Amino acid sequence: MIVRTLADCKNSERRVVAATWESVRMLLKDDKMGFSFHITTIFKNTETHIHYQNHLESVFCMSGHGEVEVVGDKTYPISPGTLYVLDQHDEHYLRAFEGEDMVMACVFNPPITGNETHDENGVYPLLD
């Protein structure tokens, strides 16, 4: 059995911070579950370009408000209780509105190792 707290993970190398987001990676590839699980905070009044070419992701909004814009397609509102699934390696922009950060629970397949950050194209590399 694996038991971790968000607080413990925040105070470890599992916390990764970038300009527009923070990801606390609670479950990683080396846990051998076949997916990774993160609590990600999207900082208020920011936009992040993302294009997971090597991963599928599901995202559940726990707090905050914003939107996800699929490049060349549609923009969807995000509020607490919204789930969106990037099942087609969708290139997108994630925006958190002013007022409060968005806190999201995220699942990645295949799992990430914990060292990934977005490259200049918004992609996480596939690491072993």
Q: What is the pLDDT of residues 67-94, one digit of tens each?
A: 999 999 999 999 999 999 999 999 999 9
pLDDT band at 105 (very low <50, low <70, confident <90, very high): very high
**CATH number among 2.40.30.10, 2.70.150.10, 3.40.50.1000, 2.60.120.10, domain 6-109:** 2.60.120.10
Say how far apart CA 67 and CA 56 lie, in whole Å.
19
Which tokens is 33 given? Answer: 């579950």
What pTM does this model have?
0.90
Report whether pLDDT(117) > 90.
Answer: no
Which tokens is 25 given? Answer: 């990676």
Beta-carbon contacts of 102 under 8 Å, excluding residues fewer than 6 positions away, are: 41, 42, 44, 61, 63, 64, 65, 66, 78, 96
Give Cα 90 distance to the centre of its chain: 13
Domain layout of the chain by residue ranges: 6-109
CA dihedral 45, 92, 121, 44 (to 10 degrees): 10
What share of the chain in percent tops pLDDT 70?
90
